[in-house]
Chain A
């Protein structure tokens, strides 16, 4: 009855097996010590555990050691009588054989370098693959079927409108060769348009082109076009009245008390 119970217990909880084994071992040991015989069972148990642990860690013992262990418990079957003891004996021999198998396969495995092993094994896997196809490369977060349709106003292949052209013309940098006289004429033109007026900076950038603004800044620097700057606006003043060069010459002569004949 007890054996039936334990077998159902083991079937239900296979992971409790180790616990069950130790329980059995302790039970047996107390029984054995009370009788004072069958010390070989303990040896058998120890050796079985030794090989099980080694196999789990993929370790192998040399053949000589395994042979000594085997000889130690070779005659155990003569004294083993209970089913548990016979099972233990079987377990020991099973572990011994597994160890032997492990050792043989390790010897038989060709000694190849790790890189070689990886490339050979990779080939085995690679040639059986049927890869999924990705043609439109690079990963993107937007699925391609949610992109805006081609005929939306965002499309870039439209011809530039009149406004675009104007804007482009305005911000274009051009090179133009002009004579000094033409430059003077342009300066005069700018002065004529601006003097005596007040402009916002933004408005100024709309009225004048880039090169005209450039010229204006030069004129302000040279005081040809005097200006006062405010926070948001700029006021262009009229230049001071030109002095007569002949009159100044007379003034200098007057200081020196000399008379210079007028030419």
Chain B
């Protein structure tokens, strides 16, 4: 971002704006887009998905209304490209990131997507009253490793990579959704995946185990 303070007047687009101001605004939007789609890790070593609002305010030297106007402009500009601006909260921070509307080639490989699907389908079966909804790593292992679909080493590597990329968060024995997974797969999509997975995970699933425990 440029270090020069940007007066809020330039951000409102009126017909009276001079050419220079319009050019400056475009330049600013370009830089904002670049910042929102940049890839970096935060101090804790986690992949940062998007930029915090506070950081944007400090970098741009504008107030909150100015930022909202600027983001609205950006939203208009990127929507013809099939992109959308997403605002989400993590802890106390509000973050902004850019997401695709349509299916595009993702970052993961096929086995990684498959493991992600297994995690989603098993976590979706956990009751919504449980917070956070989580699944034991052992259950994932029984579905994938015990049936010879992946080796234990492969599964470990994939889970580590998914953690690095912010899809899941892992404790010693359990897996929960990461922020990126909830951004990329909203609740409807997750349910759809869970229903599609019943075909693939035919036989004993966590579902049948739960039924057993209830009796």
Contact = CB atoms under 8 A, between A and B. Distances in A.
Contact of A105 (B101, B111, B203): B203
A138 B185 contact: no
Given A129-B103, A135-B34, A122 B203 contact: no
A121 B113 CA distance: 8
Nearest to A131: B106
Interface stretch (B13-21, B46-54, B64-72, B129-137): B46-54
A134 B39 contact: yes
Of the candidates A122, A138, A152, the one having the most CB atoms from chain B within 10 angstroms of its own CB is A122
A88 to B, nearest CB: 11
Contacts of A125: 113-114, 116-117, 120, 193
B38 A131 contact: no
A114 interface: yes
B182 to A, nearest CB: 11
Contacts of B118: 121
Nearest to B166: A132
Interface string A97-123: 010011001101100001001111111
Interface residues of B, number: 67
Query: How many interface residues does chain A have, given as a range?
Result: 35 or more
Nearest to B109: A122
Given A128-B189, A128-B193, A149 B39 contact: no
B90 to A, nearest CB: 13
Interface string B91-134: 00000011111111011001111101110100000000000000
A144 B2 CA distance: 11
Q: Is the interface of A mostly helix, strand, loop or mixed?
A: helix
Given A121-B114, A131-B106, A140-B39, A55 B101 contact: no
A139 B164 CA distance: 11
Contact of A139 (B41, B116, B202): B41
Interface of B: 1-4, 33-35, 37-41, 47-51, 55-56, 59, 83, 86, 97-104, 106-107, 110-114, 116-118, 120, 142, 146-150, 180, 183-186, 189, 192-193, 196-197, 200, 202-204, 208-209, 211-213, 215
